[in-house]
């Protein structure tokens, strides 16, 4: 394709008038959406600061480790301020079609400052998460192994950071972070979910935790668990209503086994309850409850061709299986 044709294609792609398009740019000079790669880079640097012995890329120790962590934190903070500023600016134009934005840089400075101030608290919570994972898995040999190799722990680390930005009403970036963790681990935690300390996702693949979930302390989920919405409220024009409570609450010390599905904003799982594998729940259960599916009674065909169940020989009511 010659240069003239390439120019024509580019003109058509980027000639939209008014608000920015979903391409991530606008006709306003210099306005770009936060970059996915840059955000992921910042995220990995912040994780490196929280767990420098596990995630920093240089072999350092003692005073060198602290110095390296400080340098990484300074770089991450500077980069994050720029990404948050761009996210705020872009949201201003998308949401309100404003031609000018006057305080996005100041807001970004405040948000990043709040996140940095919260990092010690985030680390304390993560230490409880890591300890819960170590204590909750008999295969775990050390907390170092848990931090460096458990996908559920990685997803929770990312969530703790993304949730702080979500609570500060930063657009785009918290979801970029959570979807990065989703792509790496198969665990989908919306950054809006409120999760108490000592949280452990064992194995992890296929876990889904919705935006308005509230999860208490020392909760344990196994693979394939869904904490989701039962239905979606719509307005008079048939559009989905945003910001309503759609996902369940899970109180302290609950265990939810593999494949269980718990749905609905009015559903509450009481403290200390156990939800068995593959259970489907759309209503609340009281504290201390144990909810299981009825035990199936599988048919077993033996080598002589006879059939039996776990209770003994099976008698067919017909002529065959």
Whether pTM > 0.75 for this model: the answer is: yes
More confident residue, 102 or 1: 102
Q: Express each pLDDT in 197-238 by its tens digit.
A: 999 999 999 999 999 999 999 999 999 999 999 877 777 777
Task: Read off the pLDDT of residues 268-313 as tens digits, 9 standing for 90 and up.
Answer: 999 999 999 999 999 999 999 999 998 888 888 888 888 888 777 7
- Order of strands across the sheet with 268-269? 194-195, 214-215, 249-250, 268-269
Is 159 a member of any domain? yes
The larger pLDDT score, comparing residue 51 to residue 100, is at 51
Judge whether 70 lies within some domain: yes
Residue 228 maps to a domain: no
Q: What is the mean pLDDT of residues 39-51?
A: 94
Compute the 3-state secondary structure of the chain and give helix, strand, coil in percent, each to the nearest 5. 40, 15, 45
27 is written with which tokens?
């006709």
Structural domain containing residue 167: 21-192
Computed over every residue of the chain, the mean pLDDT equals 87
Flag whether 98 is in a domain.
yes
pLDDT digits (tens, 9 = 90+) for 48-89: 999 987 776 655 556 677 788 888 899 999 999 999 999 998
Q: Residues with Cβ < 8 Å from 73, sequence gap 6 or more?
A: 45, 46, 49, 116
What's residue 234's pLDDT? 76
- Residues 270 and 307: their CA atoms lie apart, in Å, by 42
Count structural domains, the chain: 1
Euclidean distance between CA atoms 84 and 213, whole angstroms: 25
Residue 14: per-residue pLDDT:
63
In a domain, 157, yes or no: yes
Strands 312-313 and 307-309: antiparallel
pLDDT of residue 321: 52
243 belongs to a structural domain: no
- The whole-number average pLDDT for the span 150-154 is 97
Q: What mean pLDDT is predicted for residues 30-43?
A: 80
For 169-205, how does the pLDDT look when each residue is reduced to its tens digit (9 = 90+)?
999 999 999 999 999 999 999 999 999 999 999 999 9
What tokens does 80 get? 């994050």
Q: Can you say whether the dihedral through the CA atoms of 121, 150, 187, 87 is positive or negative?
A: positive
The answer to whether 273 and 289 have CB atoms below 8 angstroms apart is: yes
In a domain, 244, yes or no: no
Query: What is the model's pLDDT at position 27?
Result: 43
265 Cβ neighbours under 8 A, 6+ residues apart: 212, 229, 230, 244, 245, 246, 247, 248
Say if CB 212 and CB 246 are below 8 A apart: yes
| Number of CB atoms found within 10 A of residue 202's CB | 20
CATH number of the CATH domain containing 186: 1.10.3130.10
Residue with tokens 């930005």: 165
């Amino acid at each position: 394709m010659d240069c003239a044709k390439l120019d024509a294609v580019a003109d058509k792609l980027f000639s939209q008038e008014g608000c920015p398009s979903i391409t991530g740019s606008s006709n306003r000079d210099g306005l770009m959406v936060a970059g996915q790669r840059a955000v992921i880079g910042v995220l990995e640097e912040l994780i490196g600061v929280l767990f420098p012995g596990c995630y920093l890329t240089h072999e350092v120790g003692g005073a060198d480790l602290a110095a390296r962590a400080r340098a990484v934190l300074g770089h991450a903070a500077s980069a994050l301020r720029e990404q948050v500023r761009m996210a705020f600016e872009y949201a201003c134009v998308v949401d309100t079609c404003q031609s000018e934005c006057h305080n996005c840089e100041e807001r970004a400075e405040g948000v990043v400052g709040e996140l940095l101030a919260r990092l010690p608290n985030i680390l304390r919570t993560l230490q409880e998460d890591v300890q819960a994972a170590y204590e909750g898995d008999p295969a775990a040999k050390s907390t170092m192994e848990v931090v460096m190799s458990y996908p559920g722990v990685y997803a929770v680390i990312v969530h703790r950071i993304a949730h702080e930005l979500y609570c500060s009403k930063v657009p785009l970036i918290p979801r970029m972070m959570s979807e990065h963790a989703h792509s790496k681990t198969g665990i989908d935690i919306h950054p809006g979910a409120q999760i108490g300390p000592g949280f452990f996702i064992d194995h992890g693949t296929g876990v889904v935790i919705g935006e308005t979930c509230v999860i208490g302390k020392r909760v344990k989920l196994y693979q394939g668990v869904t904490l989701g919405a039962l239905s979606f409220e719509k307005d008079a024009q048939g559009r989905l209503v945003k910001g309503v409570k759609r996902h369940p609450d899970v109180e302290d010390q609950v265990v939810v086994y593999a494949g269980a599905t718990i749905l609905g904003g009015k559903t509450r799982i009481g403290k200390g309850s156990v939800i068995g594998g593959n259970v489907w729940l759309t209503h609340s259960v009281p504290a201390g409850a144990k909810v299981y599916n009825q035990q199936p009674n599988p048919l077993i065909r033996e080598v002589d061709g006879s059939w039996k169940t776990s209770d003994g020989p099976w008698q067919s009511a017909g002529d065959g299986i």
